[in-house]
Amino acid sequence: LAITLLITMATVSGCEVDEPQKEEVPELITTVVLTFAPISGEDPVIATATDPDGEGVRDITVDGPVKLTASKSYILTISLINGLADPTQPEYDVTEEVKEEADEHMFFFSWNTDLFGSPAGDGNIENRSDPVNYEDEDANGIPLGLETSWTTAEAKAGELRIILKHQPDLKSSTSGVGVGETDVDIRFPIQIE
């Protein structure tokens, strides 16, 4: 009996209780802010898309149209926010997470032909190799897209579509919009005056 008791105690003391594993919270983006800052220094044009309940029943709403000046150059900066998180928590500022995981993320853009003089064309959503003026990149030299440059064409109305793809272990110099998960897919009306 004593030997059985010792073996049982040794077996119980040798078992370790697994520590609960922290689950990775998926990226949740409730607000996308576009800031078109004129290179010439005037006040920026700001547009916001909001989906207050994330993947809930409420649809995303976009303020707009985004009014830009004809034949003017801008730097577009994109900010991403999880409004369901506390502003003091890291999950609130999704922009920082995307920067930190730049090798897993890429923005793709499309627009009506002739809406912008630069980049020319209609974007790289349909064809990855079509021009977009990326101003940032990941550690491998592949574009990210939190910052891009644009020059408007003549007065015209159209639409700018922005897609953020999450491509862990998939992002490459040729990976297109069909690769990975979609974190953001938003259409902003554009009015060039």
Backbone angles phi, psi at 12, to 5 degrees: -65, -45
Low-confidence ranges of the chain (pLDDT < 70): 1-26, 54-57
CA 20 to chain centre: 30
> What percent of the chain lies above the pLDDT cut of 90?
75
Structure token pair of residue 140: 């491998």
pLDDT of residue 173: 95
Tens digit of pLDDT for each residue in 98-128?
Answer: 999 999 999 999 999 889 999 999 999 999 9
Cβ-defined contacts of 23-28 (< 8 Å, 24+): 25/91, 27/82, 27/94, 27/97, 27/166, 27/183, 28/54, 28/55, 28/82, 28/84, 28/85, 28/91, 28/94
Residue 183: which residues within 8 A CB-CB, separation 6 or more?
Answer: 27, 29, 105, 164, 165, 166
C-alpha atoms less than 13 angstroms from C-alpha of 7 in its C-beta half-sphere: 4
Query: How far, CA to CA in Å, does 147 sit from each of 29, 75, 106, 143, 163?
Result: 18, 7, 11, 10, 14
pLDDT of residue 149: 98
- Record the pTM: 0.84
pLDDT of residue 59: 76
Supply the DSSP symbol for 155.
S
